[in-house]
Amino acid sequence: MRPKFATLAAAACLALNLFTMSAAPAAPLNLPALGEAEGDEFSIDDEKKVGDQIMSQILPDPAVIDDPVLYQYLMSIFGPLHQAALKLGNISPEQEEKLAWQPFLVDDTEFNAFALPGGYMGVNLGLIAQADTRDEMASVLGHELSHITQRHIARSMVANKHQSIVSMAAMLIGLLASVKSKNGDVPMAVIQGSQAAAATAQLTFSRQMETEADTFGQEVMTEAGFSPSGMADMFGKLETVSRLNDSNQYPWLRSHPLTIERIAAARLRAREGAPQDPAKSHITEHSLMKARARALMDTSDVALRRMQGQARLNAPLTDAERLGILYGGALASMELRDFPSAQTMLAKADEVMAQHAALVAQQENAPPLPPAPPAQVVVTPHVYPIEPEVAHDFALLRVEGAVAKHSAPEIVAAVDALGNDRSRPGTMARANGAIARAAARDPSAGAALQQCVESLQTWVAERPRDVLAWTLLSQCAEPLGQKLRAIRAEAEAHAAQGDLMGAIDRLRAGQKLTRTGRVDFVEASIIDARLRELEAIRRQLIKDNHGRDPNQP
């Protein structure tokens, strides 16, 4: 299957390389010490502006997805890494205040993650699907996070004193725009050819950056509670792939070339670190998220039926593996609209979890064994409880199935089973359920829609950059006849993506609606004020870009 985001992701991966390779001097450049003034030539404010412009081009791309369940899992890894970097002093107060620290999911099968200016990080579904443990995922995210915290892009600017920040940003934005066109391979070929010599000249510089990212990344992941062996395990996997030829599925390997020294250093640091408590490994939850990533990144009938078939086999597996396969099989069945099979697999998962809980209880209540001669000691594997997140993930999956089935009674039952869940996935699942009930003409859907409008309004007030929440708020308000609220929410979704013109257009539509009759004057006044604010921001951006509209490619 051809990666859906290959050209755009490749261009994004060039963000660091563009700054590194352009206008490179013939002689090797000495890397400045951390915190030296040279890095200030590309200030944090500059980095934020460039990053925000890049993201305004990337976020509207349909290959950038917001799956609340997978995104929450991603944040359960990225969040502790970010906090650990803060605790270790790797992030300055100015960086923490001004940069986004925002990962995003990319619908691509390739094993990859990439850092961008401004504190943004792209994470391919292929990385989640192919990482064997969350510790391996943490090693990649910690490495990319360290590229951001150590300001490698800013430090690369030292090699480009004769090229302005504006021209650098324009080059990158132009590249991102061009690769989304039909001729996306052309600029890639030009860059790879014309910059080959400059890349060679900067090779030592890049290796030092990679070594720094390894060192800081492994320290950060250990501080965050992940096993330091995750990076060594990941390097071992990539080393094997490198020997066997990765068939273009591992771009992270090509942009982060392994050396014997890097592998040895990671293994040494892993031995020096404290072992992780197996009870905190989240092995079952990771198994579920691997399956979810696989189902979302390849929705072909062949791939989905393969996942169904795996769930029907009785191969000898651990409970974590079995639950992951059942979760993936149920999700695949829902995508195929084979709801009876999905229900069977969900029931089997309940059975596996109940049996596992019984084993844990039996183990905890068992009397201690009498002493035995050393030759007769039999070591029984300890059975750890399944993480509570797993039951939550299955509950959310049941809501997905009921929504896909358009069954109002099943939606009500599945949403009720979520209880008082106020997590992001739970909040979005409730909204999707209410919207589906309205579409199915459920007479009691209005009350559910109003509850979702109120909860989503509170949510976006605290998280104004949540595009999905604004979108669902619009979709919940529309059937209730709250047209101004729906239009404003739609506008805010555009604004959160960086699409100022789209936001301004919707707000103008809202203003026009206010002239037609009775309206909510509170919403009308908010629309007027927000329109003035966004128009002022757009005028300033055009001024900063020397007359060029930043929303135009």
Q: How far apart are CA 462 and CA 496, in angstroms?
A: 13
- Tell me the mean pLDDT in the region 512-533: 89
Each residue of 274-329: pLDDT tens digit?
Answer: 666 665 678 999 999 999 999 999 999 999 999 999 999 988 899 999 999 999 99
User: For residue 79, what are its two tokens?
Assistant: 């969040």
- DSSP string of 46-82, one letter each residue: HHHHHHHHHHHHHTTSTTEE--HHHHHHHHHHHHHHH
* Statement: residue 404 has pLDDT above 80: yes
Residue 209: predicted pLDDT: 84
**Residue 425 contacts residue 456 (beta carbons within 8 Å):** no
Residue 370: predicted pLDDT: 63
Query: Closest by alpha carbon to 66, among 464, 467, 400?
Result: 467
Residue 53: predicted pLDDT: 84
Q: Which of 10-19, 238-247, 326-335, 408-417 has the lowest mean pLDDT?
A: 10-19
Question: 196 pLDDT band (50/70/90 cuts)?
Answer: very low
CA neighbours closer than 13 Å in the CB half-sphere of residue 231: 31
Each residue of 408-455: pLDDT tens digit?
Answer: 999 999 999 999 999 999 999 999 999 999 999 999 999 999 999 999
DSSP 441: T
DSSP 517: S
Residue 243: predicted pLDDT: 58
Q: What is the pairing mode between strands 102-106 and 64-65?
A: antiparallel
Question: 256 pLDDT band (50/70/90 cuts)?
Answer: low
DSSP 161: T
Residue 367: predicted pLDDT: 73
Choose between 307 and 262: higher pLDDT. 307
Q: Which CATH architecture has domain 427-544?
A: Alpha Horseshoe (1.25)
Each residue of 30-71: pLDDT tens digit?
Answer: 333 333 334 446 789 988 988 898 888 888 888 999 999 999
Q: Give the domain ranges of the chain.
A: 6-278, 282-362+388-397, 427-544
**Residue 258 contacts residue 68 (beta carbons within 8 Å):** no
User: For residue 232, what are its two tokens?
Assistant: 């060594």
Q: How does the average pLDDT of the chain come out, rounded?
A: 81
Q: How far apart are CA 165 and CA 43, in angstroms?
A: 10
Direct distance between the N- and C-terminal alpha carbons of the chain, in angstroms, rounded to an integer:
29
- Tell me the mean pLDDT in the region 169-195: 44
Which one of 199-213, 367-381, 414-428 scores highest in mean pLDDT? 414-428
Residue 402: predicted pLDDT: 98
Report the residue count for the chain.
553
Q: Which of 54-63, 259-268, 355-364 has the lowest mean pLDDT?
A: 259-268
Question: 342 pLDDT band (50/70/90 cuts)?
Answer: very high
Q: How far apart are CA 206 and CA 372, in angstroms?
A: 58
Q: What is the dihedral of CA 407, 411, 414, 416, to 10 degrees?
A: -140
Q: Which of 60-69, 111-120, 176-185, 485-494 has the lowest mean pLDDT?
A: 176-185
Q: How far apart are CA 514 and CA 517, in angstroms?
A: 6
**Residue 334 contacts residue 340 (beta carbons within 8 Å):** no
Q: How far apart are CA 191 and CA 383, in angstroms?
A: 53
Q: What is the pTM of this model?
A: 0.84
- Tell me the mean pLDDT in the region 9-25: 39
Q: How far apart are CA 8 and CA 180, in angstroms?
A: 6
Helices 165-179 and 6-21, interaxial angle, to 10°? 160
* Statement: residue 351 has pLDDT above 90: yes
Residue 519: predicted pLDDT: 75
Report helix, strand or coil for 400: helix
Each residue of 149-179: pLDDT tens digit?
Answer: 999 877 776 555 544 455 555 555 554 444 4
